[in-house]
Amino acid sequence: MASGFSLKDQLFNRDKVRYLAGLFSAAEAGFDAEAFEAQVMAKLPELELKQRIVLIAQVLADHLPQALPEAAPILLKALPPPLDPGKTDDDFGDFIFAPLGEYVAAKGAGAHPGLSLDLLEEITQRFSMEWAIRPFLNRWPDAVLARLGEWSTHSSYHVRRLVSEGTRPRLPWGEAVGLNLADPLPLLDQLHGDSTRYVTRSVANHLNDIAKKDPDLVMDRLQGWHGVGIQDRKELDWMTSHALRGLVKAGHPRAMAMLGYDPDLALEALIEVPDKVRIGAALDFTCRLEGAAGAPVLVDYILHFQRPGGKTSAKVFKLKQARIAGGRLELGKKHKLKGDATTFKLVPGPHRIELMVNGKVRAGAAFELLPES
């Protein structure tokens, strides 16, 4: 990422605010676009990204009729055409429409659930309403789940994706919802056979969320889906791998077996590292596996980092999916030990690397991390 880059300024800036104001001005003659822009921009620069969404929603409420039923026709008329229905993935929409969901949630969650869901159905075809729908799930769970059931076969894949993404247990940035983990599963049963990766990725991410609390619930469902055969096998295999990625990192035996990796595979393993590595350089390591010829292996490595105060923390990294051709597999990698990372600061001292194969640690080695020169 370039130095000085600001995501909040890229997504919410004067040009974007002016664009939104212009849409509403064209939809309603009495909408004062200049006043709206001035009111937003008076505070916008000092706010963080989520706060900017809230601010724009609040200012929009000042410039629209106070009651949602009177404001709704203006909002609908202001919407641009839906996102390209010919695409099937990676078309999230324009963040400037996120405040519309915030506005609908603030105005409608208490008294207008049906109208609000109608609005979210339209807005999500311009920008995902996965955050905005969650207050309605908490306030009106039965009604919202019923509507989501209808949306699971909607003609727009953006609306279908909202069914899964909006009900995720651990949605980033999203309000927590009071649903039981199993409540949305009938919806996912329908969505797992979807023809678009944008939807199936959301389903897999949803299952990955559930797996953090109830791994067997997820694996039982995936086994059931493999049995009914409504999804292309290659796509379902991808979904299974993506849904189980957290369990795979944790070395969960059943998850490994579901992906075709025997956690009890008999093999000999060796990993070699230099005795000392300096921060800013790379940990250049090699490893060797010996086992049954042709056996599939999922090879990860775990770095145990020294932390301030004498504590340690471990992180799992991917290395290779392969087969032990001829009974022997040799691998290597250079892992960059960045000294200028902003999210994880390296601390000099004793460190350890471990080789994990099919979910089990098979070998390890220690090394000393030296200060950056």
Read off the pLDDT of residues 101-157 as tens digits, 9 standing for 90 and up.
999 999 999 999 999 999 999 999 999 999 999 999 999 999 999 999 999 999 999
Mean pLDDT, residues 297-315 taken together:
93
* Amino acid letter, 152: S
Read off the pLDDT of residues 274-287 as tens digits, 9 standing for 90 and up.
999 999 999 999 99
Pick among 1.25.40.290, 1.10.8.10, 2.120.10.80, 3.30.300.30: CATH of 64-258: 1.25.40.290
Give me the architecture of the 267-370 domain, per CATH.
Sandwich (2.60)
Mean pLDDT, residues 7-31 taken together:
96
pLDDT-derived band of residue 46, with 50, 70 and 90 as boundaries?
very high
Q: Please state, in angstroms and rounded to a whole number, the distance separating the CA atoms of residues 181 and 206.
A: 10
| Helices assigned H by DSSP within 111-196 | 113-123, 134-139, 141-151, 157-165, 185-191
pLDDT-derived band of residue 343, with 50, 70 and 90 as boundaries?
confident
Q: Please state, in angstroms and rounded to a whole number, the distance separating the CA atoms of residues 169 and 181.
A: 7
The residue among 23, 32, 127 whose CA lies nearest residue 75 is 23
Please tell me the predicted confidence (pLDDT) of residue 4.
60
Q: Please state, in angstroms and rounded to a whole number, the distance separating the CA atoms of residues 335 and 120.
A: 45
Q: Please state, in angstroms and rounded to a whole number, the distance separating the CA atoms of residues 53 and 99.
A: 5
**Sign of the dihedral defined by the CA atoms of residues 338, 341, 344, 347, in that order:** positive
Please tell me the predicted confidence (pLDDT) of residue 1.
40
Average pLDDT across the chain, whole number? 95
List the domain boundaries for the chain.
64-258, 267-370
Please tell me the predicted confidence (pLDDT) of residue 173.
85
Q: Please state, in angstroms and rounded to a whole number, the distance separating the CA atoms of residues 55 and 107.
A: 14
Mean pLDDT, residues 62-83 taken together:
97
Helix axes 141-151, 113-123, angle to 10 degrees: 30
Please tell me the predicted confidence (pLDDT) of residue 278.
96
